[in-house]
Homo-oligomer: A and B are copies of this chain.
Amino acid sequence: MFKKFKIPDATIGRLSMYSRYLIEADKKGITTVSSQHIAKATGVTPAQVRKDLAYFGEFGTRGVGYNSRELYNYIMKILGLNKQWSVAIVGAGNLGRALSQYKGFNQRGFNISCIFDNDPKKIGKKISNINIYSFDSLAEKVKDFNIKLGIIAVPASAAQEVADKLVKAGVRGIINFAPVNITVEENIILRRVDLAAQLEYLTYYLEEI
């Protein structure tokens, strides 16, 4: 049905933005939106919006636009967000703790099921009702909770080891917050988020002047 062929990575990020606008529009009672409206709200061009949507089907009506609610539902389905996802966070440091409490995940259907750490002082404790388990029990818990998504929030030196553990346990998609390149087998989806690099992007441009 959907996902006929290779589509740009950036499209997926934009779909996420579109869906956020659409749910807001729907809440406000705006039943029909145009690519123009979506574009303005999300900071892209109208042609880009139409192109992005066209990868997956024909959701609009010529001369009219798109039905907000309907398009929202389509996009959520395309993104795989028409169900709940269990997520494991590895690393109960500052970042891991913050991510485990981050409301933005829940709002989009992500459920942080458990946290893993190797610090005996942290194991057995909870972070806002989420249990912290040892690395040793990772495989077991990942299976118990049917976790397919993992977030790596450990120091760079431990990131590869953690990734290997997650994959072995059955995790299929990983976000790596450690500032290091890690490798996984081909059928695992890996994404790297480098927080310091984001600031460096800013300083690069600021230094120019």
Binding site for B on A (CB under 8 A): 3, 9, 12-13, 15-17, 20, 41-43, 78-81, 85, 87, 94-95, 97-99, 101-105, 107-108, 110, 148-149, 151, 172-175, 179-181, 183, 189, 191, 193-208
Contacts and interface: CB of A to CB of B under 8 A. Distances in A.
A20 B94 CA distance: 21
A104 B189 CA distance: 24
A106 B95 CA distance: 14
A199 B108 contact: yes
A102 B43 CA distance: 30
A163 to B, nearest CB: 13
Nearest to A44: B181
Given A17-B179, A79-B200, 4 more contacts: A16-B197, A108-B199, A173-B203, A191-B202
B201 A191 contact: yes
- Prevailing SS type, chain A contact patch: helix
Contact of A13 (B94, B103, B175, B194): B194
Nearest to A9: B201
Contacts of A205: 173, 189
19 contacts: A12-B201, A13-B197, A16-B196, A17-B194, A17-B197, A20-B179, A20-B180, A79-B204, A80-B200, A80-B203, A85-B203, A98-B98, A102-B195, A105-B199, A108-B196, A110-B196, A148-B206, A149-B199, A173-B206
What are the 9 closest A-B residue pairs judged by CB atoms, nearest first? Answer: A98-B98, A173-B202, A80-B207, A80-B203, A16-B197, A43-B181, A94-B101, A189-B205, A108-B196
A152 to B, nearest CB: 12
B191 A13 contact: no
A175 B199 contact: yes
